[in-house]
Amino acid sequence: MRISSPSSAAPAAAGTPQLSIDGLSVVHRTSPHNLLVSDVSLQLPPGGALGIVGESGSGKSLTCLSIMDLLPGALRQSAGAIRMNGAPLAPGRKGIRGRRIAMIFQDPGATMNPLRRIGPFLSGLVKLHRGLAGAAAEAEAVRLLDAVRMPAARERLRAYPHELSGGQNQRVMIAGALAGDPEILLADEPTTALDVTTQAQILDLLAELRAERGMGLVLVSHDFGVIAEAADHVAVMHAGCVVEQAPADRLFSSPQHPYTASLLASIPPETGRASIAERQGRPPNNLPSQATRGIGIEARRLSRTFEARGGARVNALNDVNLAVQPGEMLGVVGESGCGKSTFGRLLVGLDKPSSGDILAGGEPVATKDGVAFRLSRRRLQMVWQDPLSVLNPRLTIGYQIMEVLQTHRITDDAESRMFELLRAVNLKAEHASRYAHQLSGGQRQRAVIARALAVEPQIVVFDEPVSALDLSVQAQVIEMIADIRNRFDLTGIFISHDIRVVRYVSDRIAVMYLGRIVEIGQADDIFHTPKHPYTQALLSAVLSPDPKRRKSRKILRGDPPDPAHMPSGCPFHPRCPRAAVRCSAEPPALHTSTDGRSTACHAVDVETSGLAWEFAA
Amino acid sequence: MHFSIRQSASAVRQSSPVLVAACLWLGLMVFVAVFAPWIAPYGYAEQDLLLRLQPPSFAGGPPGHWLGTDHLGRDVFSRAIYSIRISMAVAFFGALIGAVFGTALGALAAHRRGLVEEIVMGLVDVQAALPFLIFALLVIAFFGNELFLFVLVVGFQGWERYARLARGLVLDAKTRGYAAAARSMGLPLWRVYLVHIGPNIAGAMAVQFTLNLPETIILEAGLSFLGLGIQPPLTSLGLMLNDSRNYIVLHWWLPAVPGALIFVTALSMSLIGDGLRDWFDRSQR
Amino acid sequence: MIRFVFIRTIRAILTALTVVTTTFVVLRITGDPVQSLLPVETTPPEIIELYRRLWNLDQPLWQQYVGYWQGIFHGTMGRSFVDGRDVVGIIAERIPITLELMGWTFVAMLAIGLPAGIAAALNRGSWIDRTVMAAAVAGHALPGYVMGILMIWLFAVELRWLPSSGYGTPQHLIMPVLTLATAYGAVIARFTRAAVLEVLGQPHVLAARSQGWPGRTIMRREVIPNAAIPLVTIIGLFLGGLIGGSVIVEWIFAWPGIGRLLVTSVAGRDLAIVQALVLLFSATMIIANLLVDLAYAFLNPSIRLRG
């Protein structure tokens, strides 16, 4: 239902954009010549979906905040006008905010008042924008929650934000945005803080709401996949300027501006790994001292339990068996809380398993501080997600690498080896004398990798090594990892939440869900013919940077579960589209089929034996 | 973040004139403290009973005592010089004891975890629960107030804050930062602590030290003011203030000199501490 | 919540245990109080023996410890070493006098600090903000004994408006309360400012503005309640400061409360009174901190609703 306020009743003249930004510039109050947003002009056609895409610091969020006149206090709009249906908007946006234009933000948990229950939050907005009070407002709150497909809407009214998951909180924020029945919804990175399967749910919801209500959408994101999925007109921003804008299909198929083209080219492709295959024939680098150095690593019945706050026990890792062959790169993929990082830390001995064994090259891995642990560091290394916190801020990059070389007496000439290592990760000699904060994100991660390589390790765990980096840098670092892996003959474990990235560098992929491996097999097989319903959903949630390939996706129900409340039977069954009675009773074992794929799923087992799952269930 | 002369110099240039004045004042106080015997025209206990309660020379007093004399005819200027020396020394060396002790305990708690950590943090809680002045009075009541013990007691003021800070910083570095990485590189433990963690937390500890100093000065002077700190014939700013209480009506300079010295010195230290903290936070981003 | 309350209560009890045991141990290792009180060479041995029995010093250590606890629970904390009067009686008659001072100070410092801090935060960078911050820094560096003497000089000596010291009339109350309340009010203002600024920077305030709420509603509903949580947690801290501060202020203004009693007892080495006062102050602080913890948990739904 729409209620028409007097101002929105006037129909827009044909061809007038619903929202237009003309020549917008934003500056810092104290340095008015430094333009953070520079002469940006954008139009949102009535009922359209405008995507603004760019890397961090491109000014996309400031543009979005300017529409609502919500710039941070230190900034101000120095030029430009913002019009709605041709009429300029007054400063302060009285009568606009929440009523004609609503907004949702990146971190849904933090955008909600932690002291306020969902019910008063929504009915308050209903009262503010529609004048309904009491029971009528509460009934409307329930309808809003229904409108955003919130399960058990009425019970949610008494919940606090901290009791809901990120995806649920974002639904509540959207419900709040709908309270004023706005004509336009601004969404600033609405899915960035969410897991991929939840992201797919939210994007679907936004698309449905647009269709139902004829609402205009301005979507800001750093992720081309998200933009391609939800926008029909796209503007690319870089350093405060719009470098290119075009209809979505044209922009993605034939980008005109070199910046757009280079960004699109850095997205891991969905077909093949040509660049790495090409390099296989390259002459070996002179760095590694031995000929074949790779050793395998094996996890046997590995479990790790944590004591959570409030005394609950969390099974981060549950009876995992896995063997990585010498020289192999194994990808581990899963959503947050699936235990993949715990698994990585355990493999290199930085954490102690609650039960089970880890054997590297047949020997148990030391976890206790001591001589054995320090010696084991020469074989096992780890590369973390956030290179800035991992590098010592007060020591130069060169010192930190040489320190490692000298501690382990790797070579007599530590300095020249340090420079060789820097070269191996495509850093220059001058970077040796720099401090971490003087390097870019990509350079820092290269330095971390160079330091890890200094001990000439045999096994390296890469834990989300590119997640903190901008897209264009991600691709370079991934390439570099693939490269050094070949040159140094490493056995590697590559952990990421992004299955495209994992597939790009890995020989095999293990998919994890709630502390278990649910499927493992050759990377291409997993990617093209996933068997486990969760793997299928994960792949289906991957957003292609090509609007023509918007798929009919298999969207998972519900939210990623809390490892403190493990479901019975198969941990995936509450969200599984194929779940049957058996799945809630009996956890499936990881069974290996003839083609070398292992899957932990009753349905797959039944179908492998030639029966139809629907009948067997 | 790393310190360099040039950065420090630019930090001073950008800072407010107030901060510069505070630095100059503190510098003067340190100078006075170090060279007190050469600056003071009289000894701190030198009495001249014929020239008692003389006003400062600019207010009509005798020319030799330009800040006047007290009820025993002692030169107020000279006593102030020596008081600064005592107060600065007690505050500085005392605060150093607390800083070293607290930091060491905090780092130990973060290193060992488990029972050691529980005990250390339990002690911290107890100390934080008890107003320090009361604690100091308790110790003085039971053990008397010899100078060495007094410095020790005053110095322990705020040790629990160092312990909390050091524990937090070490734990943070150990669990997810550069120290975890250093350990995973197989570096020996002493190296992880001395080369990696130490220099990184030193800045924060130094800021805490600067913020703690004025409180130590105030505590020292306060205990001496109550007659329970520095004992005559030795002098201190608090003692001078206490002596002056009975002469407030006619001899305003007697409380004014030590009162103003305590206030301006503590204020300078506070300002420098705040400035240092702001600068430190900025450089940490 | 139950678990949280349980843990905090256990902690408080452990702290109390530590404090009581420490005072007991300290009291005994300082040597024989009789010797430090009575001139040993000239006092007849019978008198010394009498004093020993009076203070249970003739019993084995563990019995003394048990007796110490019994005393605490029965409210008999021994007799003053100096005049032999019942310690609890001496303290009890002075508690209301100190409470009068601290109660008014507490009210005054909140009345000064909270509005000043909020005004400073809302007008960040303005003259209000700069004034409040400057006052806060100065208040931190201006000790009560300097402030108190300044007040005496100004109001009692120069202006002759107020009595310089003593107790009894409302006029006597003004200077001690002002001395304490300006210093701590300035610090409260500083904390309040920081807490409000912190909340103002949170995304939920931005979200509320985007939803069209008027500024006053955002202040009342988003900012004040969220800023109150960290403020509640530091009230315990202020109580500690206030106790310390009242000792000094009672001394300057000859206010006959327990703070002044503490100073005279320390000076006279009346250990019976000192240890009883330390236990009293500790108990106050432990209970206050416990209440603050519970209030924090109650205000914070993510703790209140947890098991």
- For the segment A181-223, what is each residue's pLDDT rounded down to a tens digit? 999 999 999 988 888 888 888 998 999 899 888 899 999 998 8
* Whether A311 and C222 lie within 8 Å, measured CB to CB: no
Question: To the nearest 5 percent, what fractions of chain A are helix, strand and coil?
Answer: 35, 20, 40
For residues A272 and A276, give the distance between their C-alpha atoms in angstroms, rounded to a whole number. Answer: 9
**Which of B122, B132, B138 lies nearest to residue C274, judging by beta carbons?**
B138
For residues A240 and B262, give the distance between their C-alpha atoms in angstroms, rounded to a whole number. Answer: 53
Is residue C198, in this structure, part of any structural domain at all? yes
Do C163 and C231 reside in the same domain of the chain?
yes
To which H or E segment does residue C184 belong? helix C170-200
Domain A305-599 in the same topology as domain A15-100+183-190+198-263:
yes
CA distance A468 to chain C (A): 21
Mutate to test the interface with C, among A29, A70, A106, A113 (most CBs of C within 10 A): A113
Q: Is it true that the peptide bond before B233 is cis, omega within 30 degrees of 0? A: yes
Per-residue b/e over B116-138, b at no fewer than 16 CB within 10 Å? ebeebbebbbbbbbbbbbbbbbb
Is residue C83, in this structure, part of any structural domain at all? no
Q: What is the pLDDT of residue A617?
A: 54
Is residue A293 very low, low, confident or very high in pLDDT (cuts 50, 70, 90)? low
Which amino acid type is present at position A615? F
Q: What is the pLDDT of residue B242?
A: 85
Chain C neighbors of A107, CB-CB under 8 A: 203
Q: What is the pLDDT of residue A615?
A: 58
Is residue A137 very low, low, confident or very high in pLDDT (cuts 50, 70, 90)? very high
DSSP C86: B
Minimum mean pLDDT among A10-19, A237-246, B203-212, C243-252: which range? Answer: A10-19
Chain A neighbors of C307, CB-CB under 8 A: 310-311
Q: What's the per-residue H, E or C state across A377-424?
A: CCCEEEECCCHHHHCCCCCCHHHHHHHHHHHCCCCCCHHHHHHHHHHH
The residue ranges of every structural domain in chain A are 15-100+183-190+198-263, 104-181, 305-599
Taking alpha carbons only, the member of A181, A212, A122, A147 closest to residue A3 is A181
Q: Residue A305's beta-bridge partner residues?
A: A315
Taking alpha carbons only, the member of C90, C150, C102, C265 closest to residue B227 is C265
Radius of gyration over every alpha carbon of chain C, rounded to an integer in angstroms: 24
pLDDT, average across residues C279-306: 83
CATH code for residues A15-100+183-190+198-263: 3.40.50.300
Scanning B134-163 for CB atoms below 8 A from C yields: 134, 137-143
What CA–CA distances, in Å, run from B99 to A208, A323, B3, B266, C221? 61, 50, 21, 18, 42
Do C121 and C19 reside in the same domain of the chain?
no
Is residue C66, in this structure, part of any structural domain at all? yes
Chain C neighbors of B227, CB-CB under 8 A: 263, 267
Q: Which residue does chain C place closest to A114, by CA atoms?
A: C301
**Among the three residues C13, C42, C74, which one is the final residue of a domain in this structure?**
C74
Minimum mean pLDDT among A483-487, B50-54, C222-226: which range? Answer: B50-54
To which H or E segment does residue A363 belong? strand A363-364
* Whether B125 and C11 lie within 8 Å, measured CB to CB: yes
Chain B neighbors of C142, CB-CB under 8 A: 263, 266-267
pLDDT, average across residues C218-227: 90
Mutate to test the interface with C, among B18, B87, B142 (most CBs of C within 10 A): B142
pLDDT, average across residues C232-255: 83
To which H or E segment does residue A35 belong? strand A35-44
Q: What is the pLDDT of residue B285?
A: 46
Taking alpha carbons only, the member of A209, A159, A164, A160 closest to residue A187 is A209
ipTM over 0.90: no
Q: Which residue does chain C place closest to B139, by CA atoms?
A: C26
Is residue C191, in this structure, part of any structural domain at all? yes
pTM of the model: 0.81
pLDDT, average across residues A145-168: 87
CB of C301 within 8 Å of a chain A CB? The answer is yes
CA distance B182 to chain C (A): 34
Number of domains in chain C: 2
Mutate to test the interface with A, among B4, B184, B201 (most CBs of A within 10 A): B184
Is residue C275, in this structure, part of any structural domain at all? yes
pLDDT of residue C214 exceeding 70: yes
Q: What is the pLDDT of residue A120?
A: 92
Is residue C85, in this structure, part of any structural domain at all? no
Scanning A176-195 for CB atoms below 8 A from C yields: 176-177, 179-180
Radius of gyration over every alpha carbon of chain A, rounded to an integer in angstroms: 26
Mutate to test the interface with A, among B169, B171, B185 (most CBs of A within 10 A): B185
Chain B neighbors of A389, CB-CB under 8 A: 176-178
- For the segment A94-116, what is each residue's pLDDT rounded down to a tens digit? 888 989 999 999 888 889 998 99
Structure tokens belonging to residue B10: 């630019």
Which amino acid type is present at position C170? P
Minimum mean pLDDT among A404-418, A498-512, C34-48, C219-233: which range? Answer: C34-48
**Domain range for C27:** 2-74
Chain C neighbors of A160, CB-CB under 8 A: 301-302, 305
Minimum mean pLDDT among A153-157, A546-550, B134-138: which range? Answer: A546-550
For residues A120 and A537, give the distance between their C-alpha atoms in angstroms, rounded to a whole number. Answer: 35
Structure tokens belonging to residue A533: 């319903």
CA distance C142 to chain B (A): 5
Do C199 and C280 reside in the same domain of the chain?
yes
- For the segment A395-443, what is each residue's pLDDT rounded down to a tens digit? 999 999 999 999 888 888 888 999 999 998 889 999 999 988 888 888 9
Q: What is the pLDDT of residue A284?
A: 39
Do C40 and C102 reside in the same domain of the chain?
no
**Beta strands, E only, A114-240:** 184-188, 216-221, 233-238
For residues C307 and C291, give the distance between their C-alpha atoms in angstroms, rounded to a whole number. Answer: 19
Chain B neighbors of C19, CB-CB under 8 A: 126, 129-130
Is residue A12 very low, low, confident or very high in pLDDT (cuts 50, 70, 90)? very low
Do C33 and C104 reside in the same domain of the chain?
no
Structure tokens belonging to residue A413: 């000439």
Chain A neighbors of C226, CB-CB under 8 A: 113-115
* Whether C226 and A114 lie within 8 Å, measured CB to CB: yes
Could you give phi then psi for residue A403, rounded to 5 degrees?
-55, -40
CA distance A152 to chain C (A): 20
Do C145 and C8 reside in the same domain of the chain?
no
Structure tokens belonging to residue B173: 């570095």
Chain A neighbors of C213, CB-CB under 8 A: 98, 128
* Whether A390 and B199 lie within 8 Å, measured CB to CB: no
Is residue A552 very low, low, confident or very high in pLDDT (cuts 50, 70, 90)? low
C38 or C111, greater pLDDT: C111
CB of B252 within 8 Å of a chain C CB? The answer is yes
For residues C143 and C14, give the distance between their C-alpha atoms in angstroms, rounded to a whole number. Answer: 33
Distance from the first to the final alpha carbon of chain C = 6
For residues B27 and B24, give the distance between their C-alpha atoms in angstroms, rounded to a whole number. Answer: 5
* Whether A113 and C221 lie within 8 Å, measured CB to CB: yes
Do C158 and C15 reside in the same domain of the chain?
no
* Whether B187 and A393 lie within 8 Å, measured CB to CB: no
Q: To the nearest 10°, the Cα dihedral for A594, A596, A597, A601?
A: 50
Neighbours of chain B (3+ CB pairs under 8 A): A, C
For domain A305-599, give its CATH number from 3.40.50.10420, 3.40.50.300, 3.10.129.10, 3.40.50.2300. 3.40.50.300
Could you give phi then psi for residue A22, rounded to 5 degrees?
-120, 115
Report, as ranges of residue numbers, the positions in chain B whose pLDDT lies below 70: 1-15, 57, 59, 61, 176, 283-285
**Which of B122, B255, B263 lies nearest to residue C14, judging by beta carbons?**
B122
Percent of chain C with pLDDT over 90: 8
**Which of B139, B218, B226 lies nearest to residue C263, judging by beta carbons?**
B226
Is residue C30 very low, low, confident or very high in pLDDT (cuts 50, 70, 90)? low
Structure tokens belonging to residue C183: 């210093």
CB of B248 within 8 Å of a chain C CB? The answer is yes
Which CATH number do you get for residue C290? 1.10.3720.10
